[in-house]
């Protein structure tokens, strides 16, 4: 935890990731607001518990963390990758806790749909192989939740708050999966643009300068988007 100011920002890392994922932007963000980053249980330096967690359980633990730290409501929730599952659940379940939302290269329950639209038969083969590869690396705490592809909260389950989504449309010379083909990149950008713009105060930022970790590849741009988001919060 670092920084001060009228806004408190909670940083939620991606799947199997810890608080170090935010290192490239942490100090700069701390100049703009009070910043909290943490490692979910089982990740980073936290206790190495093995459990099949749901995004609902993770959201509840995030709330308990904020309460344990005596954080005043509301907070700005910023999440990367799988962390977006948790942030969306949190914002819908505890709306009084969230004043703004930023999702950075967010995982989506519709990512497999993109692959299937491009080539159904090949998509099913690739999806099955990715699942096997994930299992070979050890089933992570969020494995079942990520692959369940259950519907996640959208607007208006998540209330009318300032929302920014940063998504990568950068192309690959040798795409390893249908998801990373030029068509897949275009559809990924369209998916997140439509999701963000369904919010009255939503904004989509598509980048062709970074892949899955804009906070690493374009830290200054991410910081600037956070500053812009903070400025959109109504007192």
User: Mean of the pLDDT values across residues 140-157?
Assistant: 93
Low-confidence winner among 1-15, 130-144, 176-190 (lowest mean pLDDT): 130-144
User: Mean of the pLDDT values across residues 124-150?
Assistant: 88
Which among 187, 185, 14, 154 is positioned nearest to 84, based on CA atoms? 14
Low-confidence winner among 42-46, 64-68, 223-227 (lowest mean pLDDT): 42-46
Which among 45, 166, 220 is positioned nearest to 37, based on CA atoms? 45
Q: Has residue 9 got a pLDDT over 70?
A: yes
Q: Give tens-digit pLDDT for 205-226.
A: 999 999 999 999 999 999 999 9
Distances (CA, A) of 21 to 5, 132, 138: 23, 25, 20
CB 4 within 8 A of CB 34: yes
**According to the model, what pLDDT value does residue 136 have?**
76
Q: In what order do the strands lie in the sheet with 202-207?
A: 34-37, 8-12, 75-80, 98-104, 163-168, 202-207
Rounded to whole angstroms, the Cα distance separating 200 from 211 reads 27
Q: Does 72 fall in a domain?
A: yes
Q: Does 168 fall in a domain?
A: yes
**Coil, strand or helix: which one is 83?**
helix
Q: Does 47 fall in a domain?
A: yes
Q: Does 3 fall in a domain?
A: no
Q: Has residue 27 got a pLDDT over 90?
A: yes
CB 214 within 8 A of CB 168: yes
Whole-number mean pLDDT of the chain?
A: 95
**According to the model, what pLDDT value does residue 3 have?**
96
User: Mean of the pLDDT values across residues 42-58?
Assistant: 79
CATH number of the domain at 135, please: 3.40.50.1820
> Measured in Å, how far apart are the chain's first and last C-alpha atoms?
23
Parallel/antiparallel/unpaired status of strands 75-80 and 34-37: unpaired
Q: What is the CA radius of gyration of the chain?
A: 17
Q: Does 1 fall in a domain?
A: no
Domain count of the fold of the chain = 1
Which among 161, 148, 189, 183 is positioned nearest to 87, based on CA atoms? 161
Domain that holds residue 25: 8-231
**Coil, strand or helix: which one is 44?**
coil
**According to the model, what pLDDT value does residue 52 have?**
83
User: Mean of the pLDDT values across residues 31-43?
Assistant: 92
pLDDT band at 46 (very low <50, low <70, confident <90, very high): low
Q: Does 54 fall in a domain?
A: yes
**Which pTM does this prediction carry?**
0.95
Q: Does 138 fall in a domain?
A: yes
């Amino acid at each position: 935890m670092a920084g001060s100011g009228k806004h408190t920002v909670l940083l939620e890392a991606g799947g199997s990731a810890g608080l170090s994922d935010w290192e490239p932007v942490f100090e700069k963000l701390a100049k703009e607001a009070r910043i909290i980053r943490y490692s979910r249980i089982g990740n980073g330096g936290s206790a190495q518990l093995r459990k099949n967690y749901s995004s609902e359980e993770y959201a509840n633990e995030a709330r308990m963390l904020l309460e344990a730290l005596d954080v005043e409501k509301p907070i700005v929730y910023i999440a990367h990758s799988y962390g977006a599952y948790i942030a969306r659940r949190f914002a819908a379940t505890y709306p009084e806790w969230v004043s703004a939302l930023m999702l950075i290269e967010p995982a989506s329950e519709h990512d497999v749909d993109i692959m299937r639209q491009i080539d159904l038969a090949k998509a099913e083969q690739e999806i099955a192989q990715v699942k096997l590869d994930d299992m070979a690396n050890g089933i992570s705490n969020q494995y079942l939740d990520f692959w369940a592809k259950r519907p996640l909260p959208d607007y208006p389950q998540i209330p009318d708050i300032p929302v920014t989504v940063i998504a990568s449309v950068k192309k690959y010379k040798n795409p390893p999966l249908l998801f990373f083909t030029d068509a897949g990149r275009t559809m990924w950008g369209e998916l997140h643009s439509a999701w963000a713009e369904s919010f009255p105060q939503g904004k989509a930022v598509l980048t062709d300068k970074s892949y899955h970790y804009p906070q690493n590849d374009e830290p200054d741009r991410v910081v600037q988007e956070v500053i812009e988001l903070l400025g959109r919060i109504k007192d």
